[in-house]
Chain A
Amino acid sequence: ETGVTQSPTHLIKTRGQQVTLRCSSQSGHNTVSWYQQALGQGPQFIFQYYREEENGRGNFPPRFSGLQFPNYSSELNVNALELDDSALYLCASSYRDPGYEQYFGPGTRLTVT
């Protein structure tokens, strides 16, 4: 059984640029959630995708957008990067029903300069 994978591991971007982060969900999981974890904080929910549709969104601006593909992999896109977007971005996959347990990837460390 393959776990959740994310790419890239690290990247550095300049303020104002755009970035795409990728996530492959665990085999058989149909739901993907994205989280932002700033230094010293817990993960904060960005949004969730279920069967290629957005299924819930946290308190993040529209410049944070996502996609889920038919194979349940997912992308997180962030436009007009700001310095405060520097964080660890975590992807988690799960079965929407019946369980709530989410399985996290190792994260992508984004630094905005």
Chain B
Amino acid sequence: DQQVKQNSPSLSVQEGRISILNCDYTNSMFDYFLWYKKYPAEGPTFLISISSIKDKNEDGRFTVFLNKSAKHLSLHIVPSQPGDSAVYFCAASAHQFYFGTGTSLTVIP
């Protein structure tokens, strides 16, 4: 049973535009959510996180939004840059971490 889902395997965006990556979850006990970025041949790199008591967290070009009633999480990247091209995983924590299957983002110069 996949408790964290990323329904879009891939996303292409023009450089300078907004990238929106989405994530849905089923377990209402999750209390912490994270986004990781992964380049080929490297381990995932922590990007940004949000506690379940908040609905928004911002760090530079990256903003994560949490909608608990919809059990939905999104990552906004503005403006998108070619170096942002990578696979993005969302993860949720209830003592242990559950990861989505990832969304491959391509930012077109």
Contact = CB atoms under 8 A, between A and B. Distances in A.
Interface of A: 4, 33, 35, 40-45, 48, 56, 58, 90, 92, 100-107
B96 interface: yes
Interface residues of B, number: 23
Interface of B: 4, 6, 32, 34, 36, 41-46, 49, 89, 91, 93, 95-102
Contacts of A100: 32, 34, 49, 93
Contacts of A104: 36, 43-45
B46 A101 contact: yes
Nearest to A57: B96
Nearest to A43: B99
Given A90-B44, A100-B34, A106-B41, A40 B97 contact: no
B76 to A, nearest CB: 20
A45 B98 contact: yes
A20 B96 CA distance: 23
A34 to B, nearest CB: 11
A42 B43 CA distance: 12
B33 to A, nearest CB: 9
A95 to B, nearest CB: 13
B99 A42 contact: yes
Nearest to B31: A100
Most buried by B among A48, A90, A104, A105: A104
A94 to B, nearest CB: 10
A113 to B, nearest CB: 22
A42 B4 contact: yes
A66 to B, nearest CB: 14
A58 B96 contact: yes
Given A4-B43, A104-B45, A107-B43, A45 B34 contact: no
